[in-house]
Chains A and B, each alone.
Chain A
């Protein structure tokens, strides 16, 4: 069971420039662990202290996984996971 994960420009140094990579797993957490095996360092850019980083958006198909089950969100064959760095900032 392979699921496509779309990688943003800034993280493509971990994927040899690939825009999308495949990984396996039944939940987002398993997917990210599998991703890390093939692309060391990527997990740390997505997860901090066991939770998704606050300024990284991860989507399952059309939904932000924060509104689903976070890292526990189940994933299935044919799903697409998209990673986008949040665009944020402020005056302080």
Chain B
């Protein structure tokens, strides 16, 4: 289960909308082992593509080091799908490389209108498990 604040959900959705129709991506860091997403970090999509995302490699190094220094880990790795549902694609599954992370997908596809779809998954060794999302106030 992913437990996340309304404020962080809103930030992730706002980022997805701002970069639409390109895919948006980023992480929410939290203390190692806490499973608690706290620090929102929007990342550059180096691909600037509506169908693909990849963290900019130098930005990723900087952010990963920063997390290391703060004893944090990527609790959430998020990205958006801008024309399809918020479900991990084959590419998402094959490149998923953080077994401890919640993979959050947001869909900003047109038919949803004002609503955005926000779903969370565990992806370990090529196996996808959707999980419940509990949104807290604050």
**What residues make up the interface of A, taking CB atoms closer than 8 Å to B?**
8-10, 55, 57, 59, 62-64, 66, 82, 84-92
Q: Please indicate the chain B residues that have their CB under 8 angstroms from the CB of A85 in the complex.
A: 95, 97-98
B30: CB under 8 A from chain A?
no
| Measured CA separation A10–B98 after assembly (Å) | 7
Q: Please indicate the chain A residues that have their CB under 8 angstroms from the CB of B37 in the complex.
A: none
The answer to whether A91 and B81 have CB atoms under 8 Å apart is yes
| Measured CA separation A86–B57 after assembly (Å) | 7
Q: Please indicate the chain A residues that have their CB under 8 angstroms from the CB of B20 in the complex.
A: none
Instruction: With A89-B52, A89-B89, A91-B83 given, name 15 new contacts (CB 8 A).
Output: A9-B100, A10-B97, A57-B57, A57-B61, A59-B57, A66-B57, A86-B55, A86-B60, A87-B60, A87-B95, A88-B91, A89-B53, A89-B79, A90-B53, A90-B89
B136: CB under 8 A from chain A?
no
B25: CB under 8 A from chain A?
yes
- 3 shortest A-B CB distances, which residue pairs? A85-B97, A90-B52, A89-B92
Q: Please indicate the chain A residues that have their CB under 8 angstroms from the CB of B98 in the complex.
A: 9-10, 85, 87
The answer to whether A88 and B99 have CB atoms under 8 Å apart is no
Q: Please indicate the chain A residues that have their CB under 8 angstroms from the CB of B99 in the complex.
A: 9-10
The answer to whether B61 and A84 have CB atoms under 8 Å apart is yes
Chain B residues touching A, majority SS: mixed
The answer to whether B25 and A59 have CB atoms under 8 Å apart is no
Known contacts A57-B61, A64-B58; is A87 also within 8 Å of B97 by CB? Answer: yes
Known contacts A10-B97, A10-B98; is A88 also within 8 Å of B52 by CB? Answer: yes
The answer to whether B23 and A91 have CB atoms under 8 Å apart is yes
- Closest chain-A Cβ to B11's Cβ sits at a distance in Å of 18
- Closest chain-A Cβ to B119's Cβ sits at a distance in Å of 14
Q: Please indicate the chain B residues that have their CB under 8 angstroms from the CB of A10 in the complex.
A: 97-99
Known contacts A9-B100, A82-B61; is A88 also within 8 Å of B95 by CB? Answer: yes
Known contacts A57-B60, A57-B61, A82-B61; is A91 also within 8 Å of B84 by CB? Answer: yes
B64: CB under 8 A from chain A?
yes
